[in-house]
Copies of this chain bind each other. A is one copy, B any other.
């Protein structure tokens, strides 16, 4: 017989499930124990097909429904910072992973345990290593090795979103803008060409730049172009011959990375521009039937997701995807992270209503 700590009762209150998950430490790379617990708990649900890949646990119904909804959440956390075990106080659950994102994982587990006759077929993806470099991301591994587990008519990533549907996400591109001059001794500065002075105009263009505000499917995306680094200089008495400005552009999902690059090359016309990295955005996709139902169940008013998230991985595969989960994302990665328990309940109720009510 398994002991109390060996499986979770998935019919329990999702807040109880959140507490249980928070109290199993699962810093990135060290998710075996929590993945074992989630796997054993899901395998007790006879209606689910369960697969394990490393410390990622996949489960799905195969009911032959017309549509399939994928729910995804990562099991790992950032490093422990004297914020374990959990502590429930005045309706607020404190502790590492409470908001990012074991509240969302608990909602997913509660849905797996209670939706015996769901309106759509369901796929659950509990993955590892989201909080570290992208190459280790468990969802990326699923994308490469088990892509059929990511396909569906709608994907819901249960990262914290204040219990509001955040649709799509903005893309991001980073470029280096380089000015090249000519060295000289500062005592004879006119014999050189100062690369820092040359870059002044590029900075002025940034300062004067007005970013687009784009509305798609009722969501407003506010773009931005920001200098994130600058470096130049040879020594205290030399006119520098090189200065490099690093710029990060966040762009609405109506543009591809190639279009964003062209936009930056035009903005910095006359300078050498080199792309260092980029990630495509994701269109909100709220026009799809399943997404419309979700928005209705949530009471409307979806908002744009501005930061880049794993939502974009689904969008890249052609699956409309949204962020929807309990808690304030600004608390993520702070020592004081916490989640209000009524938000956990709210998210569970919205998703349960969306997925259980027959049309």
Contact = CB atoms under 8 A, between A and B. Distances in A.
Interface of A: 170, 172, 174, 185-190, 192, 194, 196-201, 203-204, 206-207, 222, 224-240, 243, 245-246, 248, 250, 277, 306-308
Q: Top 4 A-B pairs ranked by shortest CB distance?
A: A229-B233, A200-B203, A189-B224, A196-B227
A196 B245 contact: yes
Given A186-B250, A187-B250, A200-B207, A229 B232 contact: yes
A224 B187 contact: yes
Q: Which of A201, A227, A232, A239: most chain B Cβ within 10 A?
A: A227
B228 A234 contact: yes
How many subunits of this chain does the assembly comprise? 2
A172 B185 CA distance: 12
Contacts of A277: 236
A183 to B, nearest CB: 11
A308 B250 contact: no
Nearest to A206: B197
A187 B306 contact: yes
A187 B236 contact: no
Given A196-B245, A197-B206, A226 B189 contact: yes
Given A172-B186, A233-B246, A236-B248, 4 more contacts: A186-B224, A196-B229, A201-B204, A204-B204
- The A interface, classified by DSSP as helix, strand, loop or mixed, is mixed
Nearest to A204: B200
Contact of A203 (B188, B203, B228, B235): B203
A56 B192 CA distance: 37
Contacts of A196: 203, 206, 227-230, 245
Contact of A248 (B186, B206, B222, B250): B186
B224 A240 contact: no
A232 B199 CA distance: 14
Nearest to A238: B228
B237 A248 contact: yes
Nearest to A250: B187
Given A199-B203, A233-B246, A226 B306 contact: no
Nearest to A276: B236
Contacts of A190: 222, 224
A259 B234 CA distance: 27
A209 to B, nearest CB: 9
B233 A228 contact: yes
Nearest to A174: B236
A231 B228 contact: no
